[in-house]
Each structure stands twice: as C-alpha cells, then as structure tokens.
Amino acid sequence: MNIPELFGCMVFGDAEMQARLPAEVYAAIKQGSRLSTAMANTVAAAMKDWALEHGVTHYTHWFQPMTGVTAEKHDSFIEPVGDGEVIMKFSGKALVCGEPDASSLPSGGLRCTFEARGYTAWDPTAHAFIKDETLCIPTAFCCYNGESLDKKTPLLRSMQAINEQALRVLRLFGNEQVTHVDATVGAEQEYFLIDKAMFLQRPDLIHTGRTLLGAPPPKGQELEDHYFGAIKPRVSAFMKELDLELWKLGVPSKTRHNETAPAQHELAPVFTTVNTATDHNQLVMELAKSIAERHNLACLLHEKPFAGINGSGKHNNWSLSTNSGQNLFEPGDTPHENAQFLLFLTAVIKAVDDYQDLLRASAASAGNDHRLGAHEAPPAIISLFLGNELTDILKAIEMGEDYQAPGRARLKIGVSSLPRIPKDSTDRNRTSPMAFTGNKFEFRMLGSAFSIAGPNFVLNTMVAEVLRQFADELEQESDFTAALNTLIQCTIKAHKRILFNGNNYAQEWTLEAKLRGLSNLSDTPSALQVMLAPQSIELFARHAVLNESELHARHEILMQSYRKTIHIEALTMLMLVKDAVIPACVAYQNQLSELYQRKGSEFDSSLERNLLAKIADLSAKLPEQISALQSEKSLAAMAALRQTCDALEALVPQQLWPLPSYAQLLNSI
Ligand code: ADP
Ligand code: MG
C-alpha cells in the first residue's frame, strides 16, 4: 500500500483544487476572498466531477450543531432533463448556501417556530471530502439573521480575532512580512473498546454511554499493566483500519497506544490549524464508532464509562503559528525572538488568570463532572504549569534580579538572551489542567466526547483580548524595549497566582488555590453560569465571536443538555433496577428459600439463611431509594440507589445477574 498516495485521496484538497480550478479561482479561495457566482459555479462543477470519479451520487452540507456531533442531510446530484432522463448537476448556489431547515436541532430560543429555518454556509477554509460515498462540504450553520447555531461559527470568528491581535503585536516587533497568524491544535483522543455483544446487554451503555450500575471488579487498573502494553489482535485490527480510513480523509493520525484503564486506548494526530483539527477530531470520533462496529466492537467515548476506573479525556494541544511557519511559543535563539516569546507567553498567563472561569466552563458537561477532580484528571481549578526553568526565569524578571547563577547578567528583555529552556520531558506534570510543554500549551480538562470547538474559541478569544490590551498599550510608547520590559514585569507580578507547578491532585492545592483567590467551580451548572457574567458578554461581543443573545442561547442549550442527560440517566437506572436487579434478587431469594425449606432440620442451612437475610436486608432499602429517584431525578439519588444495587450484585451469582459485570466488560476482548 502506498500511504503517501492514499493519504487525502478522499479530500478535495489543495492539490485537487490547484489541478482542477482556474488559477484566479484557486487564488481567490486561498486568499479567502468572496467568490462571484461564476466562480462558485466553477468550484461546484469541479468538486462534482471529482466526486463522480469516486462513484459519489450525493452531496451534503456537513455541519456541527450544538448537539456536539456532526449533522448531514444528503441530496443527490440528479436533475431531471427532458423525458425521464437525468443529468448530474451541482451549482455554485447549492455549494455556497443550504437550507437544511433542521428545526429540531437545539437553538436555545434563537429561532421561533415560524422562522425555524436554519441555513448552512460553505466554509472555504475547510476542505470538502468524501465519506460514505457522499461529498461532504464543511459549512457553518446559522439562523436567518446570521446568529450562529453551531460550534464552528464562533470558532471561525475567534480565529479572525486572534489573527488580528497577534498581527498587531508582531508589527510592534517590526515584523512586516507575516500576513496571517493561526491557532494550531493537536487533539489527543481517549476511548474504550468493548465487545459489541456485551455492550448490547447493557441498556445503560446503550442509552447513556456509561454504566449506571456495576460492582467493582477484582482487578481494575491497579497493576497499571495495560498502559502502553502490547495491543491485542482485535484492537490492533481496529486501529489499523481506523488509521487507514482517517488517512484517506487527510487526517494525520500518528500515535496509537493502550491507555491506563483496562480496555482504554488513545489516538493522536499531528497538529494542524484549529478549524481543520476540529473537523478532523469529529471524524476521528465518528469513524472510531463506525469502524468499531465492523469489528464487532463498541467504541465508548463517554468521559466516565466505568466508576472507579479512569475515564477518558481529550488533550487539546494549542499554539499560535504564523503563515511563514513560525511557532510563536517557540522561545527561539536571539534576544529579539526571546522578547517576542515572553510577550506572547505573558499574554497567555494573563488570559488564563483573567478568564479562568470561562476556560473552566468550556470543559463543563455532565459526563466530565465525573472525571474532573477525581484523581485521574485535573481538578476544577484552573492553573498554569510552566516548568521549573521558565518559572525561575519569570521570577527573575519579576524581581528584576539576576537569573539563577550569581554573576549572570540581569535579564533585559529584548537585549539579553534567555538561557536555554529545555522542552519538558522529565518534569512533565500530568496533573495540570494547562501545561506549557516547550512550544505549546496542553489544555487537559476536555472530556473525551467533546467537540474541541468550544474550548478553542474560548482560548483564542481570551488570548486575543489580552494581546489587544498589550498592543493598545505598547503602540502608545516611544521607547518600545523599556515599555516591553515594564509590561512583562507588571503582568507577571499581577498574574503569578495562576502559575502552579505542583501536584494538582493534592488536597493541599485545593486549600492553597482558595488562598490565592482562584475559582473552583466543581459542577457544570456553576461553571456554565460564568458564560452570562458581564465580563464574558463583553469579551465575546468585543471580538465579534458571540453576541449577547447567542451567548444566552448557548448557555440555555448546554444547561438543557445537562439536565436532560441526568434525567435520561435516572430513567435508565430505574428501568435497570426494575428489569434486572429486582428480578435477579427475587430469583436468588426464591432459590435460597426453597433450599432452606427443603433442607428442613436435617441439614445445616446457615449459609442459605445468612445469604437470604443479607439480600433481604439490602432489598428492603430499594423501595425508598426507588421512590426517591422517581421523585427527584438527581445524581445523589442515583448514587444512593447504585450503592444498594452494587452490594446486591456482589452477593447474587453471576449466572442469575442479567447484566455483564465490570470484570466481563473490561476484559471482553
Ligand atoms: P504527548 O506526550 O502529550 O503525547 P506529543 O509531543 O506526542 O505529546 O504531542 C501531542 C500532540 O501535540 C500531538 O497531536 C502533536 O501534533 C501536538 N502538537 C505538537 N506541536 C504542536 C503545536 N505547535 N501546536 C499544536 N499542537 C501541537
Ligand atoms: Mg498529552
């Protein structure tokens, strides 16, 4: 197999566009200029011809509504001409704009039923591709008046914001060549794989994505023998097919390995610009699920499929890169490069401190609430890890002191060179929610099922805002170097409370963070509330990322989704108790009491009597706990009922228990 040839063969990418489009049309797309109708017609015809060569019959606007998954509505290319005949046609109009209606997708009240139509608009910055014999055209999704109904629109707007402000800062450093700055992202994806047949025997996994009941297995992840272990043949076959299909779609899947929990795995691609990375991550999740099916496996993307065992997250590696390929978080070698690096770095420090609540909110969901702070993922407290070397350098700058070695000259930003900052490898801190890893930031709070669009538009916008403030200030100064020194020094002083290199899982950190005045928004409702704060409304409005009504709508959608998730979980649990737990307990108690009676006084029946008593005692708790959950569909009521059910599961023989156990689920492959 020729992988370089296979890579991207299902993408209408740069090479295809260059080969199939007139030079001026190709140039217009690359420059992001508005296309005339004639130009759009040309692009549509070329796309269609390319698609037909691949046996495609349909096209769809492919978009990312607030459900967090992608949406598509297929139309065929056929167009009747004359008597009973058709041609294959695709117009520029159909390429550029769609009216999928899509009135049942969440809008948070942004559209009333009489104007329920939703519109899709082609995003020429993302490449069209073929999936499932259908030409998929990445689009934004909005209402009639342009208000966004999707995850993609604010992300694209935030890319403009960060581009604009980063360019202002680069100009201050005398850089006139760079014409564009993009956020780059590599999203590491964790997931579980279990046998499909076993998955189908667990209504909780089917309906909620996580197990709502389940006694702990004798062996979980205690021995840590799964992490980086040899990959089992069935899993390996799945991973190979997934990689191949992703490569065809131009997704640069690079790394695959077993993760900490049994049955848990990870995939990481090579980073790319954030809008493409967002599309790619959606494809990774979608294909992982569908390819798992072909291997009689179920791919679980939920943040916490199994209690007591590590859940799954998504590490969002984020950086800024110029169109000439310079990574703005690469410290560089010259004093000039160092100064620029330090300014961008302090911008992130200030942004993470100023907007810690928003960043936290961007990682909030019902599923992720089970993970954050559970000693497997960062706590709900935002802090920034810089590593010892960089922290010492910043300390020296803040104090205006010599750096480390006595006698070493005072670090004058823009004049002297930074000492080498080793890329973190040995002192990597895996407990930090946001870690600087040498030339990028790794935001580790995201849940595995997330669209990465949300966290990234928040990151882009908050950093853009601080760069704006910096540029506003520095543009006024006549002595740039002196002003830069002061600005960096003052910023470190004002925001150093957000820097933390220690163990984020430790109890002491929670106390210290409180003393430092850092937020600790432990659940989704309290985290999401932050979206409505005046500071958030102003931030997103100023950078034209979301207006106030869009922000309110988003808050409403996310809160509704949170409430509905818990409601569905509660109902599923009640169903499981009725259909599985109670019948199993009744059957076992029947067996025991029958034997107990038959034994009479002739044989010792202490075992039966004992077990019967224990099960009867536990079962007696059920009625009250069931009615509590029926009347109040809350996490607390679910936890209480679960405790009883799991204790019963531990007593009832496996062959009478209708649900596969944790031990079976985690060792199903
Ligand atoms: P880890 O040890 O956390 O797996 P890696 O070095 O393998 O770290 O990188 C993790 C991810 O970071 C990969 O997806 C990689 O492509 C991405 N990455 C590397 N450089 C950048 C960058 N400049 N911007 C965004 N992501 C990056
Ligand atoms: Mg990582």
CB of 280 sitting under 6 A from ligand 1: no
Confidence of residue 287 (pLDDT cuts 50, 70, 90): very high
CA-CA distance, 390 to 449, in Å (whole number)? 33
CA-CA distance, 666 to 629, in Å (whole number)? 28
Q: Which of 335, 585, 568, 313 is closest to 455 using CA atoms?
A: 313
Residue 408 CA, ligand 1 centroid: distance in Å:
33
Q: Which of 584, 595, 583 is closest to 655 using CA atoms?
A: 584
Contacts of 23 (CB under 8 A, 6+ apart): none
Residue 528 CA, ligand 2 centroid: distance in Å:
25
Closest ligand relative to 314 C-alpha: 2
CA-CA distance, 186 to 252, in Å (whole number)? 10
Between residues 103 and 106, which one has the greater pLDDT?
Answer: 106
CB of 440 sitting under 6 A from ligand 1: yes
**Given a cut of 70, is residue 473 above it in pLDDT?**
yes
Q: How many CB atoms lie within 10 A of CB 32?
A: 11
Residue 126 CA, ligand 1 centroid: distance in Å:
21
The percentage of residues in the chain with a pLDDT greater than 90, rounded to a whole number, is 83
Residue 270 CA, ligand 2 centroid: distance in Å:
12
What is the Cβ-side half-sphere exposure of residue 385, based on CA atoms within 13 angstroms? 26
Burial class (CB in 10 A: 0-12, 13-18, 19+), 299: buried
Mean pLDDT, rounded, for 124-144 = 94
CA-CA distance, 453 to 539, in Å (whole number)? 17
**Given a cut of 90, is residue 33 above it in pLDDT?**
no
Pick from 251, 258, 317 the residue to mutate for probing ligand 1's pocket: most ligand atoms within 8 Å of its CB: 317
CB of 271 sitting under 6 A from ligand 1: yes
CB of 317 sitting under 6 A from ligand 1: yes
Give residue-wise pLDDT tens across range 369-389.
999 987 888 899 999 999 888
Token pair 């540029």 is found at 471
CA-CA distance, 648 to 160, in Å (whole number)? 57
Check residue 405 and give its pLDDT. Answer: 57
CB of 138 sitting under 6 A from ligand 1: no
CB of 184 sitting under 6 A from ligand 1: yes
Task: Please state, rounded to an integer, the average pLDDT across all residues of the chain.
Answer: 93
The two three-digit tokens of residue 507, written as one number: 């109890």
Between residues 75 and 34, which one has the greater pLDDT?
Answer: 75
CB of 189 sitting under 6 A from ligand 1: no
Burial class (CB in 10 A: 0-12, 13-18, 19+), 517: exposed
**Given a cut of 90, is residue 225 above it in pLDDT?**
no
Check residue 143 and give its pLDDT. Answer: 87
CA-CA distance, 260 to 263, in Å (whole number)? 9
Check residue 402 and give its pLDDT. Answer: 64
Confidence of residue 191 (pLDDT cuts 50, 70, 90): very high
Check residue 635 and give its pLDDT. Answer: 96
Give whole-number Cα distances, 415 to 342, 346, 402, 477, 517, in Å: 13, 18, 14, 18, 35
Mean pLDDT, rounded, for 32-50 = 94
Are 119 and 143 in contact by the 8 Å Cβ rule? The answer is yes
Closest ligand relative to 318 C-alpha: 1
Q: Which of 511, 508, 515, 501 is closest to 394 using CA atoms?
A: 501
Residue 349 CA, ligand 1 centroid: distance in Å:
20
Give whole-number Cα distances, 411 to 189, 470, 496, in Å: 40, 21, 18
Confidence of residue 352 (pLDDT cuts 50, 70, 90): very high
Residue 188 CA, ligand 2 centroid: distance in Å:
7
CB of 185 sitting under 6 A from ligand 1: yes
Token pair 């799964």 is found at 226
CB of 319 sitting under 6 A from ligand 1: yes
Mean pLDDT, rounded, for 537-555 = 97
Pick from 189, 257, 271 the residue to mutate for probing ligand 1's pocket: most ligand atoms within 8 Å of its CB: 271
Mean pLDDT, rounded, for 541-566 = 97
Give residue-wise pLDDT tens across range 238-270.
999 999 999 999 999 999 999 989 999 999 999
Residues linked to residue 128 through DSSP beta bridges, in sequence order: 12
| Ligand 1 atom closest to the CA of 269, numbered from 1 | 14
Mean pLDDT, rounded, for 458-486 = 96
| Ligand 1 atom closest to the CA of 318, numbered from 1 | 25
Query: Which segments of 249-334 does DSSP mark as H helices, in order?
Result: 274-294
CB of 268 sitting under 6 A from ligand 1: yes
**Given a cut of 70, is residue 391 above it in pLDDT?**
yes
Mean pLDDT, rounded, for 451-460 = 98
**Given a cut of 60, is residue 14 above it in pLDDT?**
yes
Question: Which residue type does 382 have?
Answer: I
Task: Note the pTM of the prediction, 2 decimals.
Answer: 0.95
3-state secondary structure of 122: strand
| Ligand 1 atom closest to the CA of 188, numbered from 1 | 14
Nearest CA to ligand 1 atom 11: 186
Give whichever of 10-14, 228-232, 399-403 has the largest mean pLDDT.
Answer: 10-14
Residue 276 CA, ligand 1 centroid: distance in Å:
15
**Given a cut of 70, is residue 168 above it in pLDDT?**
yes
Closest ligand relative to 432 C-alpha: 2
User: Pairing state of beta strands 181-195 and 272-273?
Assistant: antiparallel
Between residues 310 and 405, which one has the greater pLDDT?
Answer: 310
Confidence of residue 426 (pLDDT cuts 50, 70, 90): very low
**Given a cut of 70, is residue 404 above it in pLDDT?**
no
